[in-house]
Copies of this chain bind each other. A is one copy, B any other.
Amino acid sequence: MTDVYKEKGYDAGRIGFGEQPGVLVVDFQTGFTDGRFPLGGRPLVVRAVENAARLLEVARRYEIPVASCYIAYKDERDTPYWKVEAVLKEFRHGHPCTELDPQIHDPEYDLVFPKTGPSMFFQTPLVSYLTKNRVDTVIITGCNTSGCIRATCIDSFQYGFRTIIPEDCVGDLDEGPHRDNLRDVGRRYADIVTGDEVIAFFEDWHLRNLR
């Protein structure tokens, strides 16, 4: 099968890591990670939580900025026109489905905030936090690939960051949309790598900074 995008000059080269990484953890709230909830516990998300947990452990050890978010609303008045029933009815402040999964969360270390849109950048303190810490390389973990990861990736790119997605640290309800969205953003906005490649970069970065 010919790839018309590749032919026309999409996916030309790699962006690469920069000088100061930061890690985003998108919506690893129990509503998505835990099978108790209607949208929760899907295999790709469970896998992503495990891989992200390993990556985050290294990030925190080397004092790399980490920010984590979850979706929550007060009521209908501050909820956008979602077509997803569980989000409309259950993703409310204080509901158990808005709690961060303990496997990926360190309340002492991580900056945490709620968000109201798919993008972790949209109307949240994220971009100021990255600027204050001089981050130029954004590593995106979390879920779902075809929803909030896609939206967060677009904003990271738009703001001028080098954007890196370790594909085994992001997950979705199903494989098709997971792959389709990595394909779309990998052609245009972001490098698609593995969690191990990011960890290797962190190790290398740490050694360079020690010198």
Residues in chain A within 8 A of chain B (CB atoms):
4-5, 8-15, 19, 38-39, 42, 65, 74, 77-86, 88, 111-112, 116-119, 122-134, 136, 146-147, 150-151, 154-155, 157-163, 173-174, 177, 180-181, 183-184, 186-189
Contacts and interface: CB of A to CB of B under 8 A. Distances in A.
Contacts of A124: 123
A158 to B, nearest CB: 3
A165 to B, nearest CB: 13
Contact of A119 (B77, B132, B158, B184): B158
- Total copies of this chain within the assembly: 4
A133 B77 CA distance: 7
Nearest to A161: B131
Contacts of A74: 111-112
8 contacts: A5-B173, A12-B85, A80-B132, A118-B154, A118-B157, A127-B127, A177-B180, A180-B180
